[in-house]
Chains A and B, each alone.
Chain A
Amino acid sequence: MRNGFVTATIVVAGVLAMWVSSPVTSAQSGQRRESGRSIHRDGWDRIVPDPSKDQNSAAAPIRDLTGIWEPTPGYRDGVFATGPKEYPSDGKREHQLPFTALGEKTWKSHKPGFGTTAVPIAENNDPFDICDPIGFPRIELFNLRAIQIWQNKNQVAIVYQNNQVWRNIWLDGRELPKEISEPRWYGYSVGKWVDDDTLVVQTVGLDERTWLDNVGRPHSDELKVQETFHRVNHDIMELTLQIEDPKMYTRPWVALNKFRLRLQPEWFDIREMVCSASEAAEYNKTVAAAAAPNKGTKK
């Protein structure tokens, strides 16, 4: 009897110890969880499966971008802190953009926190640092995280994790506006299926106050952006993004070239990532401005 009690006690204690130390329990408690390496979690704190074990290379559904997508192979591959993947601001000759004189002058008037022209925070004039709208195409050229796409026969809607903003792409055959009476942070977009797997989107009418990217590359009211969304297979989609702005650049240039996104499980919840003006102001004052050699409150 006594031996049975001792054995039962040991078993219970063992199970309890395993339960307490398991990663799942750690996640549930909110106190203890593995650190030091990336274990990707969705907005509801669920662990996202390893892509290599969950790849579906079957054909994509016809003319359908629906789903939740994240950069791949790394979910942070779309951060692009120093500029878009094909043209980072790193001083390399091959990454020099074809600026016009106005483009060069406008870029130099922008004071970013990253890239070769980075300045201390007190001198920074990045509109997104004070939570002005990030705008398009910067929403895809900086901190491109998860996106959710819905569509019907008339339009595609893209919801972006970054700042929880959305934009519409019209598929109903309308043409881009000939005259823009009201520039918009996210512009006016129309799309056309060029084959069963490829949607090409044109966008104009973009507000000049936004930056193209995180290093302050400029654009004018003549900016035209072309996005190509191409589904390689069921799980993988490529995004190519071209900039055309004759006022700022002498020729079109490709900011993203077949940048890969991966379809996420249907249960994947997109985590909040909102720019709060009060939080940003507190950060700018308490951390960024205080750390800067040239101290001062960010305007």
Chain B
Amino acid sequence: MRKMVGAIFLAGLGPWIVTVPVLAHHGNAAYDNKTVTVKGIVTAWVWTNPHSFLKFDAKDDKGNLVHWIGEWNAPSTLINFGITAKSFKAGEEVTVTMNGISKAGAPIGRVTKVVLPDGQELSMGSER
């Protein structure tokens, strides 16, 4: 637990968010067309239908803890891109890129890439 808190603190020292407009994706009525990258600590990896989602915590620029949710594709698709039910562990630091953020202003986005602590990138490449 101490390790996790420390990791969250470290993540809070350097949260970085980049916003780049890109084309909207079909059917994402709830999402805008921004790309955001957030570094945080995994709290849960939910491997379910219809879509999987990654829960992670990060501090915003005011130091407030934000509970992020990154929505990703269905397990039956992700598995073919090297992403499995065991890809993420709670307590692990990840850098998550999301293309499309909640129009409601909620910290929820559609994941396009996750970088693991050792630098490995998990993504579907150019596919969605």
Contact = CB atoms under 8 A, between A and B. Distances in A.
A280 interface: yes
Chain B at the A interface: mostly helix, strand, loop or mixed? loop
Interface of A is mostly: loop
B19 interface: no
A290 B106 contact: yes
A276 B125 contact: no
Interface residues of A, number: 46
Interface in B12-53: 26-27, 29-31, 46, 48-51, 53
Contacts of B31: 291
A290 B123 CA distance: 24
Residue among B26, B30, B81 with most chain A CB within 10 A: B30
Given A275-B49, A283-B48, A293 B103 contact: yes
B125 A291 contact: no
Instruction: Specify which of A32, A35, A75, A282 lies most central, judged by the most chain B CB atoms within 10 Å of its CB.
Output: A35
B104 A292 contact: yes
Closest 4 CB pairs of A and B: A35-B82, A114-B27, A291-B102, A279-B48
B65 interface: no
Interface of A: 30-41, 45, 75-76, 81-82, 113-115, 118-121, 129, 145, 161, 271-276, 279-280, 282-283, 286-288, 290-295
Contacts of B49: 273-276, 279-280, 283
B48 A37 contact: no
A37 B125 contact: yes
B76 A273 contact: yes
Given A35-B81, A41-B80, A274-B49, A113 B27 contact: yes
Contacts of A82: 26-27
Interface string B67-86: 00101001111011111101
A294 B104 CA distance: 7
A38 B50 CA distance: 20
B26 A145 contact: no
A203 B17 CA distance: 53
Nearest to A33: B82
Contacts of B69: 286-287, 290-291
B64 interface: no
A293 B30 contact: yes
Contact of A38 (B75, B104, B120, B127): B127
B79 A291 contact: no
Nearest to A276: B49
11 contacts: A36-B81, A81-B26, A113-B27, A121-B29, A121-B30, A274-B49, A282-B46, A282-B48, A283-B53, A286-B46, A287-B69
Nearest to B127: A38
A115 B10 CA distance: 42
B108 A81 contact: no
Contact of B82 (A39, A121, A161): A39
Interface centre among A37, A39, A276 (most CB of B within 10 A): A37
